[in-house]
Structure 1
Amino acid sequence: MSETLFFDTFAKGQKAPKAIKSSKDCVIYTRVSSQQQADNLSLATQLKACTLYAEKQGYNIAATFGGTYESAETDERKQFTAMISFVRKYKGKISYILVYSLERFSRNDNSIWLTNELRKLGIEIISVTQPIDTSSASGQMQQKMLFLFGEFDNQLRRQKCMAGTKEMLLRGDWPTQPPMGFEIVRKDGKRKIVANAKGRLIRQAFHWKAFDNLSIEAIRARLAEKGLKVCHQHMSKILRNPFYCGMMAHNMLEGKVVEGNHEKLVSKEVFLMVNGLLKENPQGYRINKENSEIPLKRFLICDHCGKPMRGYIVKKKSLYYYKCNTKACNNNKSARDLNNVFEQILHSFRIDQAKDMIRAVNKQAVAKFNQLTVGDQDDYRDLQEQHTQILKKIDRLEERYIEEEIGGDLYHKYHARYKEEKAEIEKNLMKLSKQVSNLDENVGTAIKLALELPLKWVSADYNTKKRIQFLLFPNGISYCKKTDECRTPRINTLFSYIAYFQQIISNKKRGIPELGLDFASFATLVAGSRIELPTLGL
């Protein structure tokens, strides 16, 4: 027995994988980018060339995929995906994928990665019009260069297409399929967007809303009687779409609205009347968006359903209330009473004495901040990568929509989803990117603010009150009418220390009774910090 066998357990690295046996079986993939190319026998030409090549090389054709028009800018192609799944399923049996040219296979930045993955399975991509020996390093490099040139060509086309589409929008011409009620016609060689039979019914819907103030459900019922069925959500979007009054709004216009050259269904006055009516509140109370009498609206959370509570006034009594709008919750409370409770809560964050205690709070807050920010740099880099990927997805989706590869419903569905993901990532990036240059000074400013907090909140305007509220309680405060109690899942860490030390100074047994918090709730915040607290004669 060889002595080296005793040392095998100390070996490093992975064992070389077994070579996959090469076979003579292949598959053929053909593709064109548009319906026009599919109609000019391009597919038949590709299939004939690939078949002749296979016969000449003595390959057995196991299957044929494609035969239709699919964009090569994405790997989300049905025939392409089916072909990749097939060769992976029969790895070791399929050795070649025959294509007319490499651009027929793929023209995006995944092509090189996918080629390498297939090569690991013993599968080579062969272009019958671009003979390359991929068994050598130089041959593989030539293949990669051809893929890169294909992607570069795509980027140039996309840049030209996007610029042309934006210019078209600025001229007042809608570049894609128009909304319901319109159709594209060509007259004297010119493309025009005109209203059709559905459009004439939609015009009536606008008038029903503007002059009769019918509800959306009543409008839908009338349209259904006339043969046009529209869901509630779509009807609402129609009434809010300025396209119907001759104005165009599009993402590529970068926040601008331009006059369109298409036929107008309703006047601008009627459109604005409709949207003015839609904004009115159908309930029997009036909402004031910035009212200092109800500063806790949308800050208070319903304890039962978890939805934000709103503020309103009962006109007969001239009294303000907070209310949950969820049916069957019945969670409401006098605004004056809850405002008084919140004012009492603010008194728990005041420091009225003991400069030594203020220094302890400062030291504790700085230590906690440094502890919490460990590892943030790695998280920040991960979020940057996620942000780059989501931007690529949005660009690819918009490009497919402009080129009419996908319909409006699919575009809006995924565009909204990607926008939400992008907003969440940017929100987290913003949190991690905030660097405190002088932490001691900022903590000192916060403590100074805490000394005057109750007075500031009572005398402040609506917006300042909201900022103070969310500064202290980032997740808001929940209210339960059944027990008449308030709770909060989170308190700003700095102000938690202030409340804790204030409790020590005053020898209170309860921390913040209005929130049901006792001494033990705050004691855990400083546990393990190992800072030395001043005795103050305790």
Structure 2
Amino acid sequence: MNDLSLFKRFAPQAPKQFQEGNNAVIYTRVSSAEQEDNTSLASQKRYCEMYADKKGLNVVGYFGGTYESAKTDDRKEFNRMLTFVKRSKNINYVIVYSYERFSRSGIAGASIADDLLKKYGVITLATTQELDPTTPAGSFQQKILFLFGQMDNELRRDKVVTGMRELLMKGYWVWAVPRGYEDLNKGKATERNLVVNEEGRLLKKAFEWKAYQQLSNAEIVREMKKIGVKLSEKHINNLFTNPFYCGLITSKLIPGQVIEGKHEPLVTKELFLTVNHIKDEKRIHGFVYDRENENLPLKIFTKCDKCGNTMTGYLVKKKGLHYYKCNTKGCGANRSAKVMHEKFRSLLKNFWIEKEDREIIKLQLEEQMGVFFKSQIENAKALRLKLGELKAKQETMEERFVIGEIDRNLYNKFKPKYEKECFEIERELNKTGGYSSNLKKVIDLVTKICLNPLLLWDSSDLYGKRIFQNLLFPEGIIYNRELDNYRTMRVNSFFSSIPQLARVLEGDKKRDSIKFDKIPTWVGPPGLEPGTP
């Protein structure tokens, strides 16, 4: 049988997302109205349009164009864009000025971009950070960029927090004026004069009823309503447990510290303690498990060496201390979070490189990783050769059709076949052709991280810490209680040789040259099993 058309239904089809055209949407945003020049909304839109024009993309929609913070992904215009893209089913690209315009939420932003690609076939592109997220290297680099966006957020926040912490230490309240107070020097952060207002004098009665008449919170809510103050039981509880109302300042920014405030107290310290003593009598003391707590970033990520189960965390309320614990009955692995965090920091120090060593380490990493990517690069060469042969055949066939050597039926039979084969090869080339340039970009980011991995971990929030931990140790870490140390099954391939390279450089500071040919292709820090690509 020579008619093969009957078998077409069995032939694999090209991925749907690569067949539906080149439609794109543009998303622009700034964090505040003060942003201008290169990152203004108009500039972002212009660069995105130029990028789309250069890539031959058809822009079918614009989103954003307003001021939205990217610290979280709960943004009106951003979510409107996501809804449109997912429902349209014919959008191929989301174009942004840079990945930080898309999201600064680290792992959450990377997850959204990855979800768009894998579930909807939509690629997120940045005009200032060209990469191909459909390739392993490009996907990894994109995740790193999202991580750095979050890190930049944390560093900016740290500058603001430092100023706020200094004011708190001096006794100034830095947030919105609490209920029951007014600021006589409104707008002057360092000269705030918070005094009790008329409502505050009524709120004082709630403390007195709780302490002297031992009324329940529900009864106090009803009594407060009678005198014109609307409160819920939750608000009453917050009122009673906030030391601000007895003239003190406490905050997560100054953990474990109590500062005498510059503001007027609503109640005396004695009355405040009396109220809270009444509450404490009804509490059950002990320890409580913490499901999501920024004080326990290594939870679940750490496994018990004895039984292999993941370690959870809990808080000893009386001591105010956090602990990690293996829940396997009879295991007994239990350790202070403070100690385990310090040991993890010691582990991170293995990946710390000096600024002056960065360039030479980058060159060595490029050589090592180039060995791994050699097969992909050679495969790309073979694909280009095959593509050239196919296009030559296609041109020959078209020429023969023009001069009448073959009829239209034969031409129509082979033309789709050649076009499909060319399309599939070009798609594969898009995945492999950028390995060389992407590899250098990834290594540049990896070595940038290693200039101060401790700062990255310490300055990140809970989710930032987790993404960094899993980036460095993809299979987590294992804690041995008897030896009181960590080990790991695998180190990320891009990081695994850095400790040995750093040690070689440290030992050869006074030499004129370093013989890297003596270093194994893949090496890891002491006590860690080497990473594999």
TM-score range relative to shorter protein:
0.3 to 0.5
Report the structure number with the largest CA radius of gyration: 1
